[in-house]
Structure 1
């Protein structure tokens, strides 16, 4: 009995997955000042703990979807942080934030924190991975000499946010300006002297809430794809300090044209056998239970309901008989090519007629032989044209139908 198997393979264009933008924000400046004279840190992270918070956006949208992330991982200088330690605390619920508990820059001048987020695209079912990093830097003030006056303290200006990306739609509109804010801070050694400095802002391509003399700039709109706020800090007796807060738009990709609808495919027809029992038991004495059982057939067209098959089922012997007749026919065709004898042509014509009639009879009983009949008919027509028997073979085939 012929066994028919089928399968299905689904291909998905990975380029169809959503484009993600991941940001990491902190509630403390990214620069820590160390005073070697008294071994103090400003800010002191044991009391003013930095909290690193991830934010996830689909490119061109304003909604933070970090709560829907499949997983959030943190890496410190390339090593994954899998559990809370003395120096770090991982949030155990909600968004997985990372809190720095101690002055971890005591043993190094910088620390790089990397956040890796895995998000399952609800449209494709594929996992999309996004990464973002944030680096903290230690600046040491001048150390007092063993003798003589203390060394001059360094003047350092830092921005709480040096650059920011604004997600927008494909036209650059409807931007999400959450987090688009920066404040200048000025340190003399380990001392915050921001209040002693005057600040003037120069803006390009951005709209800012505060006045141009403010030490903070909150951007609420952009008139160009890129823009900046430049802080110029001045103080009598000191050189001016200039720091720039850069902004850029991240535009959503333009949706392509919808392709034309393809032609409706023909519904496939599936056939299968349904045995009355799933197993036959044979006793030691050779008795089979059950002694007999019924095998029925069903078929289904497209997504229609399965229907009982009303045709006859060919046994293995019947199929072998038909295959034998077909093989005989093909052998005789080869002999005709070699010998070109008239009696061979006549015998070929007779056997063709009998075989077509036999196959056509069973075709009317069982759809499974349709392809075999069509193959034989096609071969007969080709050979009949070659040997001038086209009219006779055609009439005999019609009679067989």
Structure 2
């Protein structure tokens, strides 16, 4: 009869074969120390190469790695991950492993193991024995030295009511650095960007630890200069603010009649009309326009041209070659803070020639609401009206759109108070509260509040209190408004530190008593001390940042703390900003790249496809390679699969001849990673697996068990076992129809038993295996035993250690 399937298993008596052992000698200690401050390793495997030598013994006899029958191979494992092949910088020669790079630095876990595998064929028995040994190396790390810098020095220039400088005419700022070097001084320009401090006769070098600041230096904007010192560590810096405090400072505000304007152009950028492209500056104090007492200068941005009126107050745009631009109005007067307002210009290009362009704008009935000492506005309301001009026409037409009106208490943050429910040409608006600083109206295109057409802001001025001449205005000056906190790579505070925030209050140009209260503090921050300021001394608030604290969340890189100051019965809120400076992580994230087949990797009888999918992780985060290359192993080499460059590969039956191996190489972070997968095509063939409960090794003839066979057709098991219970005694409390295999050691026999409801009996008929299983034996020299005849003809056969003379091979043929 034809043989459907066959298989074999070899069981070895290891005491008969002999004992193989291997030990590893390391040329360097099992730990290396990394100093992050010097970026050095002790010992350095790069300068003194690590060499690991295997020492091999067979039955206490030394063997050289080059001895006949000896094979030495090496693997590596990082941390608790799976082992893998050696990488660049790890080479083997004569069985000795040499490592010429500091590989521990790239091991995220700080633990790296090298595993030596040795195989040896005993020339007497012909049996191959195996042994392995492992050496683990660990990385120790010195503490990161604290990188820190802080600025100390004055922060106020004082001016009397006539605008004359009093007190200090120069301030010296001193930077105290720890483990960093000053690389420069910067100031924040009008665009809010930090740029290099101007070189002056006082500051010939901008890399020294001292910076001299004068009020004449072109670094002040709205009477405030923000200065930063930088270091050779880009994450370590400090910021210091200097203020110009003026006695009896005037409460003048600037207002533009037109804050923004849209110019419509054809597709080539040619503006069809400049009608309405003008704005006039007004300066209000106590409800009166006093712009005529100021000197007004205008500064158009690049690409904007126009003319300034004879009285300097109005600028009319006559040319625009950019899509966005502006004109800055600056009003100056001795004894007053400089006032700057911006007129924004937008050019909108159209498509091909068509209808005339239309310009939309808001007309406000007043640009200023003045509040008297009784908190009553004059006028009480403001009316916003919408208009448009067609093409080059100077005539304006009423427009029905939607209005969104908002109020602001500080002139910066606005809260919406009114939104049109339907299209309307105008809206009369009454302020909701006297405690506001501005009202802003935005015009939207009809039908909704999506397309913004124009914006107009109405400022709020206030009358001073009536009475005798009082003290000067109240000011609060904070000496430290931001701090960089050195943190570990995981986002926690590296070392405990105290942050001092000096402050003082002024009434006019005279110091006054002032207190501060800290708002909500992030976890790990506490108030160490809080000393009020007096008329003679500055106050200070000291915040303690605890070592190891995440400041609310490890991922949070910055935050603010509200500081509420009280001076002369006036409350002022300022924000203190903290920023984390994270230490770099040693090495880099381990990258895992795998091929998976969610629906299985077997094609059954050419009836289905197999989809191979790739996954990649960098550390604990899923990432996506930038490129994929799929290959198939054919005729001894890897050949690219044409046209397959995505993350998935669909394997069809015609791509697999019984079994096929595929690989995918993914590119990520400038490096390539390769993963492998195997696909099997099971046709109408049979296969049989041999399972040994004794294992594949016995020692000194001890142990017993069974061999049982599992038959498969097209990948599906057929002729199934009734049970896998192999016992020397019947199970207790059986149920009718239960089975077990009875092991008879005395007669070297295994019998299938069935419980009939009252007793255990030998199974028969359809309960027995339907296929015939013939087991043959081969001795240690691979010669047939039992005169070449079948040794057993059952599906389950008994074996024990006494049957193994050095080794025995069992061959099963299924008929």
Q: With structure 2 as the length reference, what TM-score do the two structures score?
A: 0.16
Higher helix share: 1
The structure where strand makes up a greater share of residues is 2
Larger gyration radius, structure 1 or structure 2:
2
